[in-house]
Amino acid sequence: MPRPLDGDRPTLTAPPLTTDTHMHFFLPGYDGQPGGPPLPEMASIEDYAVVRRRLGIERVIAVQPNAYQADNSCLLHCLRQLGDIARGVAVVTPDTAEDELLSLHDAGVRGARIMNLPGGGIGLDRMREVESLVRPLGWHLIVQFDGRNILDYLPLLRGLQGRFIVDHIGKFLEPVPTDAPSFLELKRLLDSDRCYLKLAGCYETSKAGAPKFDDVGRLATDLIAHAPERMIWGSNWPHIGVSADRYPDDAQLLDVLGDWTGNDPALLHRILVDTPAELYGF
C-alpha cells in the first residue's frame, strides 16, 4: 500500500516557522547497515514536502534512521539539499573522527542520537563517551529508551553534562499512570535546566489508538503542564514499521498537540517555534 502523503488539513493552524523536530529520510542509493532494521519504503525530500505543506511546517529536524546506523551520508545529502530550513541529528560513535564531526556540524547537525532499543546505533552504555565528543560543538543528545526502565538509567542521565532530549514522550512501551514511579522520575528530570522532552510517536505506544491516543495523551498533557518551556514536537514521519491499518493521519498528530495544550496560542508557539529555535540554532 502506498504511503499516504496528503489529505485534509489539520484543524490546528500551525504558527509561522513551525518546526518538525523528528522525521526521517530514506533515499535510493544509500544502503542499510549491519545491525540496523531493514530499509523501509523510500521517503524522499519531495514526499515530505507534501506533508510539510499540508501541516504548515516550515523548519525540519532530520533524524538519522536506525537502518543507516552510523553511516550519516543520506542525512548529510538531505541537509545540504534542504539548506537553512533544516538541521540534523546524527549517529556518532566514540570512534567518530574529528573531521567527520566538523563535516556534520557544517552541514547543520546539532544533535547525536542515542537509541537504547533494538536496532539502535548507539545505546546508553556509550552515551557519556559520545557526549564528550559532541558537547564542545554545542550539540545535545536525543535519548530514546523504554520509559518503564528509567529508574535503571537515572545515574547515566543525571551524569550528563549538557542538554539532552528524552524522545517520544518517554516511550513507555506500556502506557503508565501519571503517578507511576517511572513517570514521576521523568518529571523530575525535566526539572533540570538540561532536560527536554519530545512530543512525538504517540501512536507507537498507545493502546487507546486514534484519533485521540488518550492513554499517551494523559502523559503528554501532564508533562506539558509540568514543564511547558521544555517541550518540542515531532511528526515522526514516515512512521516506519506501522501496519497499514494503524498508519497515523499526520493532520491528527498535529491536532492532538492542540488537544494536549488546550489550543493555547502562546504555548503552541513555544513548543512549535521558540524552543526548537533555541535548541537547533535557527
Catalytic residues: 236
> Distance between CA 102 and CA 137 in Å, rounded?
8
**Cα–Cα distance measured from residue 122 to residue 115, given in angstroms and rounded to the nearest whole number:** 6
Cα–Cα distance between 143 and 91 in angstroms, integer? 11
CA–CA distance, 194 with 120 (Å, rounded to integer): 23
Can you give the C-alpha Rg of the chain in angstroms? 17
Beta-carbon count within 10 A of 135 CB: 16
Query: Which one-letter amino acid corresponds to residue 97?
Result: A
Of 265, 259, 253, the closest CA to residue 7 belongs to 253
- Strand (E) or helix (H) holding 90: strand 86-90
Under a CB-based contact definition with an 8 Å cutoff, are residues 239 and 22 in contact?
A: no
**Cβ within 8 Å of residue 262, ≥6 positions away:** none
Burial class (CB in 10 A: 0-12, 13-18, 19+), 52: buried
Three-state SS at 210: coil
